[in-house]
């Protein structure tokens, strides 16, 4: 099996992009990644997209994107596992390069979410939950994560202020990210007094609806050393994938995210490291409670200690375990099919020393955790600089 390097990353500013179609966004990100890598062709491509049909009335994205990117007849496939779609695209591309089937593989994701009404977007997103049980009874994702938050608060004493500190931290990081949808800081008071969405979650505890795309170029480490030397080489040393029951009512414990824990354990074992060896991480903060629960599932903090860790500043850029230096889904945005690839981009940039004003001090190993639904699926990747 071959070691796999990230040799190119590409993204664009995310937001409500009225003048860009789903193909425009993906081609822009993909071309940026190819330019960054210095490649003029790809062997194959995996495109993460949760629901191109419901959001943009466009299925068959493999053909559309290969056509408009100008890479036909390269093999292409659309990948879906809800909000973890791009994370799975990365894993599949990594497997293809590792196995020797292809040398240059483009992986990424895209979602065009703002060309429909808020009600239609809510419905499209709800299909990532259990439609027959949760959806039929009117539950939405804010409601699902609100139940998880309330259970965590009751079991561990997690506070509303701790949930709010996640948003404050991530907006502080996002304010330094020129590609973020909401690149501005927010105060604790503003977050805690924002509009109630689903008790205890308020508006600023929730990630936004976003248009955006992100892309990454993978190749064998040996080839990267021979031909692509413009950047410090970043290698994917561990990859883990796991699922859990889709509906909350079927889970043993809704105060933890089992799929995140198991996918992390698989990635740690493959990379030969543990939680203490990770310098920083990008995690799936679709709601602020998700960041707290994921950091516990990844083993960074003991169960119930994720909230106090945020409050103590441990997850800030200056803390012992920086989390979501990009601004996370909360500030950077959350085009659901693209988020997992954008996390890989942030980790890669940090390891290359190319994160600008939000750059950490000489990180050597980072982690990206991407999640589908309320934790029904999870992908974890560990990246190291060589």
User: Active-site positions?
Assistant: 83, 334
Q: Is the C-alpha dihedral spanning 179, 182, 186, 188 positive or negative? A: negative
* 3 state SS of 243: strand
Burial class (CB in 10 A: 0-12, 13-18, 19+), 243: middle
Q: How many CB atoms lie within 10 A of CB 194?
A: 17
CA dist list (Å): 14 to 9, 216, 368: 15, 16, 19
Q: How far apart are CA 84 and CA 279, in angstroms?
A: 23
Q: How far apart are CA 263 and CA 299, in angstroms?
A: 12
Instruction: Bin 179: left if φ > 0, else alpha if -120 < ψ < 50, else beta.
Output: alpha
Q: Is the C-alpha dihedral spanning 163, 264, 340, 62 positive or negative? A: negative
Phi, psi of 213 (to 5 degrees): -145, 160
Do 340 and 379 form a contact (C-beta atoms < 8 A)? yes
**In angstroms, how far is CA 287 from the centroid of its own chain?**
13
Tokens of 152: 């965590």
Among candidates 248, 259, 302, which has minimal Cα distance to 284? 259
């Amino acid at each position: 099996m071959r070691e796999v390097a990230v040799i190119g990353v590409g993204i664009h500013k995310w937001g409500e992009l009225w003048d860009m179609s789903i193909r425009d966004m993906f081609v822009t990100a993909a071309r940026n990644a190819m330019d960054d890598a210095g490649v003029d062709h790809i062997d194959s491509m995996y495109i993460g997209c949760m629901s191109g049909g419901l959001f943009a009335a466009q299925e068959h994205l493999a053909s559309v994107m290969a056509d408009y990117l100008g890479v036909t007849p390269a093999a292409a496939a659309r990948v879906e596992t809800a909000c973890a779609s791009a994370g799975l695209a990365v894993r599949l591309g990594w497997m293809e390069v590792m196995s020797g089937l292809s040398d240059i593989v483009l992986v990424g994701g895209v979602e065009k979410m703002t060309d429909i009404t808020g009600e239609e977007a809510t419905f499209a997103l709800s299909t990532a939950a259990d439609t027959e049980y949760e959806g039929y009874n009117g539950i939405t994702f804010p409601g699902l994560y609100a139940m998880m938050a309330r259970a965590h608060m009751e079991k561990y004493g997690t506070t509303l202020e701790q949930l709010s500190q996640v948003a404050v931290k991530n907006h502080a990081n996002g304010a330094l990210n020129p590609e973020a949808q909401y690149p501005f800081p927010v105060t604790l008071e503003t977050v805690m007094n924002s509009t109630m969405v689903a008790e205890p979650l308020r508006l600023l505890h929730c990630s936004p609806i976003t248009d955006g795309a992100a892309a990454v170029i993978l190749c064998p480490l040996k080839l990267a050393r021979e031909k692509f030397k413009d950047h410090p080489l970043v290698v994917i040393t561990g990859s883990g994938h796991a699922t859990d029951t889709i509906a909350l009512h079927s889970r043993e414990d809704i105060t933890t995210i089992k799929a995140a824990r198991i996918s992390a354990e698989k990635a740690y074992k493959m990379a030969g490291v543990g939680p203490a060896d990770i310098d920083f991480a990008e995690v799936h903060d679709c709601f602020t409670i998700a960041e707290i629960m994921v950091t516990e599932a990844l083993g960074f903090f003991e169960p119930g200690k994720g909230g106090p860790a945020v409050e103590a500043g441990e997850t800030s850029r200056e803390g012992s375990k920086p989390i979501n230096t990009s601004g996370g889904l909360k500030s950077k945005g959350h085009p659901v099919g693209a988020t997992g690839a954008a996390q890989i981009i942030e980790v890669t940039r940090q390891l290359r020393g190319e994160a600008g004003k939000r750059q950490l001090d000489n990180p050597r190993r980072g982690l990206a955790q991407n999640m589908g639904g309320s934790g029904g699926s999870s992908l974890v990747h560990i990246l190291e600089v060589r």
